[in-house]
Amino acid sequence: MSEAQNIAKLVGAPLNVNAHLHTPYSFSAFDKLTDALDMAKKEDVAVVGVNDFYSTDGYREWNLECCLRRLYPLFNIEFISLQQQYMEAGIRVNDPNNPGRTYLSGKGLAYPQILPEFFADKLAAVREESNAHVEKMCGRLNELLSTANAGFLLNFADIKRELTKGSIRERHLAKALRLEVYRRSKGREEIADFFDALFGGKKLQADVDNHAAVENEVRGNLLKSGGAAFVPENPKTFLPLDSVCEIILAAGGIPTYPFLADDAKGSFTDFEKDVKKAAEALKQRNIHSVEFITTRNSMETLEQYATYLHEQGFVVTFGSEHNTPAMEPVKLSVRGGKPLSQTLVEIGYAGACVVASHQQAVLNNRQGYLNAHGKADILHRNEYIKNGDSVIKKAVKG
């Protein structure tokens, strides 16, 4: 019997899930949080997870607007942590360019929130440090604009006020620069010439009408490593992985490792190239939940990795991020736009059911899928899947 058939015996017909969506509370393709939910409703996606960087500020709006649309909300968060031993050994984890840098999500945080003050202060400090780093890059970008006699500078406070809800990312700088260049320029050729000059003579490849592509080029040419406005991040500003897990657990959530898996060239990071070894390493760190951004991956690799990890007892969820300027469907697909296979739909829904059941338990002051020490109740995972299925379908179908 296939894994999809096993899960189907527990839940019946699975619902469509997108468990990882960024909103304007960090950086997002969506101008408004409700845009994401309207798209989900239109595309028949019933379970949706907010997953902003360092922020839970969108939870209240997410919850309210999901209820109005009969969508089931998952409350998540995302961090960037550092594993010192991997950095020193030059091992890339789930950042393809920075050894030791490790993205980590928290799934199913408590709402209303329960984060104690000590951990809330840690979270606030991380967010402030992230904002301060982007402010330094804004200063470097203004130096570049002055040298180029652009005739204008970017105002960091204005960008933060007008384009964000408190958390500012380098993508906001790219968007602010594009908006100002377009506002001041008289036509397509003048826009292209400005960016050609700012890029040091490197030609703008995108059509100027493709705003997302232009912003991606600004970010890639100026704000990423090697770019004229790039400011290296101090490794000391990243919390250790264990500290991030502590914050997630204190907030009632489930620490979750986001797999990159295969890229368009079929390459993997050092940590992920052997899924069995990666799974064992995660278990040793007491991490029993993983996720994938499905549009990054081939169907073959995603099925291989997701099925193996599910069979090993991991909670497996899928999402789209939407944390770039490009607008893509909310309903999930693999690389190239092909819909998820039935196996992947079943596995992703089962994972969402565990998270939903966990959320419901914590809401009612009961122990969820993790105990106080973060140990997962893997032996009873099927019960969480069944219960979560009931919780979700009651919310979305009435």
pLDDT tens across 212-224, in order?
Answer: 999 999 999 999 9
Q: Does 235 have pLDDT greater than 80?
A: no
pLDDT (mean) for 304-313: 97
What does pTM read for this prediction?
Answer: 0.93
Residue 161: the pLDDT is 95
- Give the dihedral of Cα atoms 309, 104, 350, 293; nearest 10 deg: -90
In the block, tokens 């950086």 appear at 27
Residue 312: the pLDDT is 96
Measured CA to CA, the distance from residue 376 to residue 44 in angstroms comes to 31
pLDDT tens across 75-111, in order?
Answer: 999 999 999 999 999 999 999 989 999 999 999 999 9
What is the amino acid identity at position 38? D
Residues 6+ apart with CB under 8 A from 249: 255, 370, 374
Q: What average pLDDT does the chain have?
A: 95
* Residue 248 banded pLDDT, cuts 50, 70, 90: very high
DSSP reduced 3-state for 183: helix
Q: Which residues of 197-212 are buried (b: 16+ CB within 10 A; e: fewer)?
A: ebbeeeebebebeebe
pLDDT (mean) for 310-319: 97
Tokens of 57: 């500020």
> CA angle at residue 348 from 12 to 291, to 5 degrees?
165
Measured CA to CA, the distance from residue 18 to residue 313 in angstroms comes to 21
Share of the chain above pLDDT 70, in %: 99
**Bridge partners of residue 292, in order along the sequence:** 259, 318
Residue 237: the pLDDT is 77
> CA angle at residue 167 from 162 to 170, to 5 degrees?
85
Residue 1: the pLDDT is 52
In the chain, the domains with their CATH numbers are 15-114+251-397 (3.20.20.140), 128-223 (no CATH)
Residue 20: the pLDDT is 98
pLDDT (mean) for 367-393: 95
